[in-house]
């Protein structure tokens, strides 16, 4: 089906134009259209019937669920609070942000610390080294972890260090964080010179080793260069579409603007972190997967975070198709813990500002409410097979392809 016809159908269908219609016959489309009416009525996960809810929960429990971007806490004083949380949330595997240092030895020490922790907790934790390990984690009821630094500065300008990190569990890496580094530019830089000569070597080595290239925080030109030059599919593990970044964001953005300077102006940041349609399409065409993140999705008003997240997901599916999307919480568990301590000290602040971390609809900051995401997918009318893909299978397929 041509793009014009697709767009035409999209107009007929109203707001929920879905490009994978192009692969199905017209009469099926009209059947879908009928279902679509009820979908609009029941677009919030809160409106599910008990049966649908049970169905969603069963789907969630049975399936591989992947969080493609999270910062864990493995500290002994926490008594595995993070691990308990992700297991409670039904997560099968997580991509852990580590190695954000600028010194390779410090970064390596952190990797080793995580590996030691995984070994100590091997009855519940599995260090994922290939795609099949995620299925194994699911089978054995363990939580799989692998490492994906959100920056490449720890390499200290030495591609061979990638081999060493790989040996210790590195399986994904962002080429840049928000800023310029030796590889390329981050999304917050005013000027983006694109992938450097060193960056090209990094991409090449990552391809050779089988390390997933993550471009979530990377600047546009550097992203384009990496997508073009990489022989393997690349990924945006935790982003939203730029065009649908909320113009009037919720209380968290106000809180962030007022209380921290971590991100500068939150709306501007969310647009920088968001990716344009064409780029996401190019990523998907090469077999990449795009993880939608709740981090930027909250709109002003009374909507739940889950529904706001599903709105972004719908847009994303609309752009790249259901086979190329996943989920990446972008949750920083150290922040979750800090905020919980804050709320422990200031109970009256529980439902305000910070991420509405205690928002019962999502509990952003904690993964225990992750099944709400699956409920949302059911409420939006995704089929069981589509839901399985979004929850984890798309990423597993990508990992198998990249990691071998």
Partner 1 sequence: MTKDELAHAEALHRESIVIDASIVAFIEGVGEDLMLEDMAKGGVTASNATVCMQRTLGEAMREVAEVNEWAEKKKDKTLIVRKATDIEKAKKDGKSALILGPQDSLFLEAKTAFLEIAWEMGIRIIQLSYQRSDAADGCWDRVDGGLTNFGVSLVEAMNKKGMLIDLSHVGDRSTMETIELSKQPVSFTHVIPRATTPRDLSPYAKWAGGEKFVKLALGRGRTDEALKTCTEKGGMVGVTPFFAKTGKPTTLTDDLMDQVDYVVNLVGAEHVGFGSDLDYRNSITRGAYIWKHPDRVDVTYHTAMDKSWGYGWLEHMPNFTKGLVARGYSDEEIKGILGGNWVRLFKKVWGA
Q: Decide whether 106 or 140 has the Cβ nearer to partner 1.
A: 106
Angle among Cα 302, 308, 314 to the nearest 5 degrees reads 150
Does 343 contact partner 1 by CB under 8 A? yes
Identify the CA nearest to 211 among candidates 237, 232, 185: 232
Q: Which is nearer to partner 1, 108 or 172 (CB)?
A: 108
Q: At what angle do helices 197-209 and 220-229 cross, to 10 degrees?
A: 50
User: What distance in Å separates the CA atoms of residue 347 and residue 125, rounded to the nearest whole number?
Assistant: 33
The CB-of-363 to partner 1 minimum distance in angstroms stands at 12
Classify residue 341 as exposed, middle or buried by CB count within 10 Å of its CB (0-12, 13-18, 19+): exposed
Q: Should residue 348 be labelled a site residue for partner 1 when binding is judged by CB under 8 A?
A: no
Q: Which is nearer to partner 1, 79 or 123 (CB)?
A: 79
Cα separations (Å) of 4 from 11, 19, 30, 32, 355? Answer: 11, 12, 18, 20, 40
Which residues on neighbouring strands pair with residue 241, listed in sequence order? Answer: 275
CB of 156 to partner 1, least distance (A): 10
Tell me: does residue 118 bind partner 1 (CB under 8 A): no
CA 142/CA 125 separation, integer angstroms? 5
Q: Which one of residues 262, 268, 300, 352 is an interface residue with partner 1 (CB under 8 A)?
A: 262
User: Distance between CA atoms of 174 and 213, rounded to whole angstroms?
Assistant: 6
Total of residues contacting partner 1 (CB under 8 A):
28
**354 is a site residue for partner 1 (CB under 8 A):** yes
383 sits near partner 1 (criterion: CB under 8 A):
no
Stretch binding partner 1 (CB under 8 A), from 8-16, 97-105, 268-276, 321-329: 97-105
**Residue 121 interacts with partner 1 (CB under 8 A)?**
no
Biggest alpha carbon distance in the chain? 60
Note whether 300 and 39 are within 8 A (CB): no
Nearer to partner 1, 5 or 262 (CB): 262
Asked whether position 360 contacts partner 1 by CB under 8 A, the answer is no
Binding positions for partner 1, 42-81, rule CB under 8 A: 73, 75, 77-79, 81
Among 35, 341, 385, 404, binds partner 1 (CB under 8 A): 341
Q: Which residues bind partner 1 (CB under 8 A)?
A: 73, 75, 77-79, 81, 101-103, 105-106, 259-262, 334-345, 354
């Amino acid at each position: 089906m041509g793009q014009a016809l697709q767009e035409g159908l999209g107009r007929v269908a109203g707001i929920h134009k879905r490009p994978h219609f192009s692969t199905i016959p017209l009469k099926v489309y009209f059947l879908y259209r009928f279902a679509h009416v009820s979908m609009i009525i029941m677009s919030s996960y809160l409106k599910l019937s008990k049966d649908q809810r049970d169905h969603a929960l069963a789907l969630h429990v049975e399936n591989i669920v992947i969080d493609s971007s999270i910062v864990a806490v493995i500290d002994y004083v926490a008594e595995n609070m993070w691990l308990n949380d992700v297991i409670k949330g039904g997560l099968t595997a997580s991509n852990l942000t580590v190695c954000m240092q600028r010194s390779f030895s410090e970064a390596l020490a952190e990797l080793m610390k995580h590996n030691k922790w995984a070994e100590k907790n091997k009855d519940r934790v599995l260090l994922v080294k290939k795609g099949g390990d995620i299925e194994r984690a699911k089978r054995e009821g363990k939580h799989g972890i692998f490492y994906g630094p959100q920056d490449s500065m720890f390499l200290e300008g030495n591609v061979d260090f990638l081999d060493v990190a790989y040996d210790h569990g590195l399986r994904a890496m962002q080429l840049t964080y928000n800023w310029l580094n030796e590889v390329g530019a981050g999304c917050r830089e005013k000027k983006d010179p694109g992938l450097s000569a060193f960056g090209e070597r990094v991409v090449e080595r990552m391809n050779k080793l089988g390390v997933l290239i993550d471009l979530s925080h990377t600047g546009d030109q550097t992203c384009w260069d990496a997508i073009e030059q990489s022989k393997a599919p690349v990924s945006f593990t935790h982003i939203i579409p730029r065009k649908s970044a909320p113009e009037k964001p919720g209380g968290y953005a106000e809180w962030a603007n007022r209380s921290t300077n971590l991100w500068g102006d939150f709306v501007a940041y969310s647009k920088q972190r968001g990716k344009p349609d064409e780029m996401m399409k190019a990523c998907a065409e090469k077999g990449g997967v795009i993880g939608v993140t709740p981090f930027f999705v909250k709109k002003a008003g009374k909507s739940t975070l889950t529904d706001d997240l599903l709105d972004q997901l719908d847009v994303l599916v609309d752009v790249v198709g259901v086979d190329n999307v996943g989920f990446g919480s972008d949750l920083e568990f150290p922040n979750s813990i800090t905020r919980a301590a804050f709320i422990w000290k200031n109970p009256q602040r529980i439902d305000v500002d910070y991420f509405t971390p205690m928002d019962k609809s999502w509990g952003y900051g904690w993964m225990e409410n992750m099944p709400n995401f699956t409920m949302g997918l059911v409420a939006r009318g995704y089929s069981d097979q589509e839901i399985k893909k979004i929850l984890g299978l798309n990423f597993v397929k990508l990992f198998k392809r990249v990691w071998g």
